[in-house]
Each structure stands twice: as C-alpha cells, then as structure tokens.
Structure 1
Amino acid sequence: MPSAFLDVPPDMESGTGALGQPFIEQVSICAFPAPSGTKVNPNQWIMHSGDQLSAALATMPGGRTSDIERNCTYNCVVTNAGKQSNVPVKIRPLIGTLDDGIYMRDSEIEKLGLNFTGVTVPTRHGQCRVFSGVRFRFPDDYNGGAVTYITEHVYELPAHVTNSARSQHTSNLRKHGIIGVPLIAKHVVFVHYSNMYIIDLSIATASPSLRRCFEHMSPLSTLAISKSPEDRDAASLCFANFPGNALNIALEVARRHAPPPWSAFSVTRIGHPIMRIAETCRVCQRAEGEDGVKLSICTKCLQEERPTRAVYCSRACLSADWKQRHKAEHAGEREWNMSEISCPLHVAS
C-alpha cells in the first residue's frame, strides 16, 4: 500500500501543474541513466534518505561548490568537439530533466566557433537553430570531472529567452542555457530541495556511505494524490513502497542502457514531439469548443515563435490582458508567467 509522503503543492492539487518548482523544493530525487529516447525517465526515484546523502556528499572531496546560487544548476566546461585545441567556455547551465539536448546562448556558440547546420527545429523553448557539436564535462563532480561527453548538435536558445529583461532567477536559462539529463549517461543526478549534485556513477556505487543512502527509494512513477477519507479537502502525495532493493534495480537499468561516455543525439531524434497542456483562455479560462468558444493565439506570440503563448476566447479578453500585463511581458518589462490567471472579465449581457 502506498504511504503519504508530503503535502500536495497548490499547483498540483488544482490541476494546473505537475512536478513544478513547489514540488521540487520539497523532495529529493535521483535520476539514474535510463534508455535514451523515452519521454519520461523510468529510472527516477524519490529519495527517502536525501538529507543523509546530502550530508555524506559534503564530507567528500570535490562536488558542488558553495557559490552556486541558482537552483538546479551546476558548473560545466564546454569546448568545440570539432577542434583539437580551443578556448573552453565555462557555464553554469540548468540541468533539465526532459530535454535530450544541450541549449546554449548565441554568444557562447560564437565563442566556441560552432557551425550552423542549416537546420531549424521545434523544441520546448520554441524554434531553435541547430549548430555543430561540443564536448562538455563537470569539473566539480565527485570524480574530478574525469568523464567527458560529446553531443553532435547544439540548440541555440531563441532570442525571446535570452534577451528578456526579466526572467525567473531559478531557471537560469537566459544566462547559461540547459543540459538535458538524458545526455548525462555516466552520472547520477541528485536534486535535493532544488540543489543539484552530479555524482559519478562509479563513485556512487563504490562508496559504502553513499550506497546506504540509496537503499530507501520509491519510484517516481508511483506518484499519486491521496484524499483522506475523514477530510475530503486534505490531500497528500503518496509513493508506493518498493518491494526489492531499489538501488540494485536502478543500477541494473543504468548499466544495461547507459551509452558510452560520449553520448550523442542524432539528426533523426532532433524533431522530438513537444508535450503540451490543453490551452484555455488566459483571462476567463474557457476551453476550445465550450459553448461554441474558438480560441485565438496572440499575434505577437506567433511572430516570436513562443512555445508557450497567450490564448484568448475573444477580442475583449485579448484587449484587457494586453493592457493589464501582456504588452509589458513582450516588452521584457514584466516577468513572463503564463500560469498566472487574470481576473475574469464581467461583460454586461
């Protein structure tokens, strides 16, 4: 039987979000290497000994430095994969869970001397130009940055991401870009209350103190919301107890499916599908087809090729939202927050 683990964040209970920032800030998650090309990593686990693992890592040489302020980021060194000797670029990218590539700013791409492939593809961050590949490594991991990865291609982050005057401090997209967890094949990615740790897989399995911390885990795939029979308004996140040795299973999957130290994604995989949430009017929340409603997308969002865009059911809703906030969002004067709901319009009948 599953057991209650923690309170449900408001965005999950209302159905407006899943596994977002409120959730990540409450739990510890470990992502072991898994089969490439899957939409969701089946080798992700909830850590019941996250505090102990974090404390154990603090006593080991190397690892996450104390001056990394942004959540879910890590020190990384990137070089041009096509050149034998070149100047490395040091960045602190967001370690993304779903993205199966590496996204970088145009300024870093220019410094590295990467070549444009002539291909532009849809991604979770909009239309991205594809450039030639890079090498990257994590110099502060617990094996001294011994593992080097190679990707065949690099996504260029769109201008609406990098040039925004305001962006979420925790996302770190505008300054340093993203490296997807599926590319990291020889490390365990440990997220402890939004702090990111990159642990060399051989170190994680060889250290007795670290192994003990991995013994009590629950599969993230068993996540469920449980309602209390006594209080129907109370909700908790639940995870099923794993019947066997969770670490042995996680390592078996990692060893069976992990590619060589030089992971790469090919041209045939670049056009991966983008998962979207059903869209509703940003002002009144009415959905397509509801009472004859037909939704329209903000023209400016279409011009900027934004993957997340403002949608409206009528010109009245569009006009009101544009004056209230959306004009300022496009101008970079206000933080872009598409999950925020505007006050519904009251139209006289």
Structure 2
Amino acid sequence: MTRQSFSTTTCLGKQSSLLEEDVITTPPPGGPVAGLPGFTHRYAEVNGVRLHHVVGGSGPAVLLVHGWPFTWTGWRPTMPPLAAAGFTVIAPDLRGSGDSGKPAGRYTKRDEAEDLHHLVAHLGFTEVDLVGTDIGSMVAHAYAAAHPTEVRRLVLSEAALPGFGLERLMDVAAGGSWHFGFHAQVDLAEMLTAGREDAYLDGFWSMMTAGRMTPAHREELLRAYRAPGGMRGGFEHYATLVEDGRAARAAARLEMPVLVLNGEHGLPQRILLDGAREAATDVRADVVPGSAHTIGTDNPGWLAERLADFFHGSGA
C-alpha cells in the first residue's frame, strides 16, 4: 500500500485539495477510488482482455480515453465536475496500460476501440460521447469510425490521426519525432528501458506537463509502467501505427460533431485540426487555456465545462 495525495475539482471551475489517502496498489473490483467520492474501480472481461475502468456519476455515458505514458489517472481532476454536469463518466485503462490486461501480440487501434465498445455495452449503454487524448485520440477515432451510429459526439485532443497527418510526425527525415519509430520496435524498446523506466519516462512527463506533474501522480504512473509488461504494453500502442493509418483512410468520413482541443502550451493544433477536417464533416476547435499536453489535469474546471457544453449541444 502506498500513500498518495491528489488535487481534484468538485464543481465546475472550482478546485479543492484532498487530504492524503491510502491507495491500494492493485485497485479492488468495486472498491471506492481514493479521493474521488462516488467513483469506483471496476473490471470487465471484454473482447478477450480484462479492462480496469473507473466509473462515477449518472446520465449519458462519457468515455475518457488516455494516452501514453499515462493511465486513466490523467483524467482524474476532470471526472468529478463532468459527473456533476450530468454524465456517467467512464475512464478505462487501455489494454496494455495501467491495471488492464496486457495480452501478447500487436494492438491495432481498431482492436483497442473494440475493447472499449464492448466495455460500453457491458456497462449498459448503447450510445456514448467520446473523448480521446494523445494515443487515446487515435483509439477514439477508430471507435467512431467503426460504430458511427453509437457515438453522439467526438472530442480529439493533443495528437495527430493515423492516416490523416500522423505519418508526417513519424518521418524523422522531415523533422518528425524519433520516438514513434523507437517505440514501434517493441522488443528493442522494452529491452533498453528495462530497469530505467523513471529515467526514460521523466523526460516525456516533464515535456508533456510543462513540469507540473505532482510527485504523487508520478509515483502512481511509475507503479503502472514498472509493473510486469507495463512498458511493453505501452510500446505496443505504437507498433501498428502504419496499419492503423491504412484502416483509417479506408473508413467513411465521420458525420457526428467533432471537437478538436489542444492545450495552449501543448501540441500545435494545425496538424490535428487539418486531419480531423479530412476525416469528418462537422469539425470545430478550441484551445484549453493554460494547459500543456495533459489537458485532463491542467485546467479541469474549464475542460469539464467545455465538454459538458459540447455534449449537451449548447456550445459550438
């Protein structure tokens, strides 16, 4: 058992500090989430994988999909105000991540999307509002492309979409990022980072959070990524990106409303926005004030209010 301290938001736009809470290293099924009243840890066997997820609130379902190198905890401060706005908030760990199963083999975005589609059905919902960030945006796009009539509205953030711009970011010869190719070599990446997880991940966390990650959040993420298969599971999200792009290009354009969000100090918005406009017919955009790449933790009050307005149809 470890000691953790988190800060969260209890109502739209208002932040409150939480006392230290005991956090059990492996969350028990049905157990309360420390520091998040009304939210529980759950597990579901879906699509051949055991998915850990956190659920709270009531009303229409909102599915929050995390990126790398994070887990569901990247949404933690945004979840209470979003639930208070009248939604059932579902934050899963993707396969290979956090406390979810880490099956062998490649993970296409369509595979990961099907995990989440089965999870939503398991929880009794036939429709969902989807929010993705980073790798989670790629999964959310695949979900919407595969099940367009079951996604009310889609939010994509802090990413580029396979098939719609990501390939430019992966091309180091054109100034793209080296890490896509390195992570895609799963065996090599796992071998070279074994026992050095903190040294490798700290650079990403520092850049993505603008140095604002709390020590408690860092330790929780290190617990997840130091666990057996934790780093490998994270790298598996990268191994199929070229295949994911081909699948995305073959899909029909999305017809549901799409909102593109980027942090004010996060990734440049243009590549995601241009890609979304290729992939969907009804696209609008906004910027999360003061936020870096980690929009779920950096300005949770603003984000929850903006999402609620979009999902209720009262905001552009």
TM band (smaller chain):
under 0.3
Higher helix share: 2
Calculate the TM-score normalised by the size of structure 2.
0.25
